[in-house]
Amino acid sequence: MRLRRRLATRTVPPRFTAVTVAAAILIAVATILLTLQGSNSQADVGALPAADSGSNQYDGTRPQGAADASGNVSAAGPLTQLDKDLLVAVRRAGLWELPAGRLAQTNASSEAVKRAGLHLMDGHSKLDQMVREDAKILGVEIPNEATEEQQGWVEEMRNAKGAEFDRIFTNLLRAAHGKVFATIAQARGATQNDLIRRHAREANQTVLDHLEVLEDTGLVTPETFADVEKTVVPPK
């Protein structure tokens, strides 16, 4: 009886009580943290962007005017015949000016002409890649060969050497660039299509560079300038 009475009246040590309380607090805090973590994970999952469903709306995740996986380009804006003509003109220019630039490296006698040829090769290589990409995105059919007239110009240059080649190359290319320069300006001035605006900007810079290196040869004749003026200036 005395042993039982002593056990019944024994008090819990303060240290044991403190440890028990601390453990209970830690368990409660851990439970709260786990709950909050689970809530944040669900919120993060809900914040992930939805998969592209082929919407026509520009969602800011691609450059404006670029196509989504389905090739939809409505965000680029309306596409006019003038826009299409620009892509065709740029493509055709590359189809004969690239070979002309290569011929300048073998047939020209002037270092300035050879330099102009290098600029043509570099500029039209980049433009040709861009025009093929943009035409595919926009669904525009572009040619795969130069016109008969352009092919005739290449053949004329192929059969010329030295100073004769320098003269033919410089004036044919200066006339062609002057005329396409006007086409680019017309398309850029009227287009509402973002891809065409970008394309016109790149083409404009390239053609301007080619105009300058061709003029730097000192071989462009007054007749060539008059021919360009007659083509690009509307009659009064």
Residue keyed to tokens 């993060």: 44
Amino acid 144: pLDDT: 95
Amino acid 116: pLDDT: 97
Amino acid 34: pLDDT: 53
- Which has the closest alpha carbon to 63: 137, 9, 142, 170? 137
What are the beta bridge partners of residue 162? 108
Q: How far apart are CA 177 and CA 180, in angstroms?
A: 5
Burial class (CB in 10 A: 0-12, 13-18, 19+), 223: exposed
148-158 vs 81-107: helix crossing angle, rounded to 10: 10
From first to last of the 236 residues of the chain, give the pLDDT tens digit. Answer: 444 444 444 444 555 455 455 555 656 555 555 555 554 444 343 333 333 333 333 333 334 444 443 344 457 889 999 999 999 999 999 999 999 999 999 999 999 999 999 999 999 999 999 999 999 999 999 999 999 999 999 999 999 999 999 999 999 999 999 999 999 999 999 999 999 999 999 999 999 999 999 999 999 999 999 999 998 887 77
Report if pTM > 0.75.
Answer: no
Q: How far apart are CA 218 and CA 13, in angstroms?
A: 107
Amino acid 232: pLDDT: 85
Q: pLDDT tens, 160-208?
A: 999 999 999 999 999 999 999 999 999 999 999 999 999 999 999 999 9
